Amino acid sequence: MTTTARKYPVWAPNIDPSRWVDNRVYTDPRVYEREVERIFNRTWLFAGHASEARASGDYFTTALFEQPLLIVRDKSGTLRAFANTCRHRGSKIALEPCGHVAALRCPYHNWVYDLDGSLIGVPGEEAYDGSGFAKEDYPLAGIRCEEILGLVFVSFDPDAPALRDFLGPTIIETLSTPLANAQFEIIKFHSYELPVNWKVFAENVRDGYHVPFVHPFFRKASPPGPYTICENGHAVQRLGMDPNGVEPEVWAKTIQHTLPGVQTGEGYVLTLFPDATLTLRSNSISIDSQITLGPAKVRFENRVLGIVGEPPEVRDIRIFGHATWFLNPVELEDGPIFVGQQQGVASNAVRYSIIARGADTSTGTRGDDNRLRGWWAAWRTAMDVDMNSLADELD
Assess whether pLDDT exceeds 90 at residue 171: yes
Q: Which DSSP string do the residues of 100-129 spell out, in sequence order?
A: E-SSEE-TTT--EE-TTS-EEE-TTGGGGT
pLDDT at position 393 over 90: no
Q: What is this structure's pTM?
A: 0.94
CA 285, 355, 230: angle at the middle one, nearest 5?
45
Report yes or no: 59 and 53 within 8 Å, Cβ to Cβ.
yes
Per DSSP, what are the bridge partners of residue 269? 237, 279
Give long-range contacts, CB 8 A cutoff, 24+ apart: 298-302.
298/193, 298/194, 298/196, 298/197, 298/198, 298/200, 298/201, 299/191, 299/192, 299/193, 300/191, 300/192, 300/193, 300/194, 300/201, 301/189, 301/190, 301/191, 302/188, 302/189, 302/190, 302/191, 302/327
Query: Has residue 120 got a pLDDT over 60?
Result: yes
Q: What was the pLDDT predicted at 368? A: 80
The rounded percent of the chain whose pLDDT value lies above 70 is: 98
pLDDT confidence tier of residue 386, bands split at 50, 70 and 90: very high
Domains of the chain: 45-155 (2.102.10.10), 187-382 (3.90.380.10)
Quote the CA–CA distance of 20 and 14 in Å, as a whole number.
10
Mean pLDDT over residues 104-130, rounded? 97
pLDDT of residue 1: 45
Sheet of 112-113, strands arranged across: 104-105, 112-113, 119-121
CA–CA–CA angle 243, 227, 390 (5° rounding): 130
Round the average pLDDT of the chain to a whole number and report it. 94
- Residue 6's pLDDT is 63
pLDDT band at residue 4 under the 50/70/90 scheme? low
Predicted confidence (pLDDT) per residue in 30-72, tens digit? 999 999 999 999 999 999 999 999 999 999 999 999 899 999 9
For 362-383, the pLDDT digits (tens) are 887 766 898 899 999 999 999 9
Which sign does the torsion angle of CA 267, 272, 278, 279 carry? positive
Query: What is the C-alpha separation between 281 and 269, in angstroms, rounded?
Result: 9
Q: How far apart are CA 287 and CA 49, in angstroms?
A: 9
3-state secondary structure of 140: coil
Confidence (pLDDT) at 218: 87
Residue 128 has pLDDT above 50, yes or no: yes
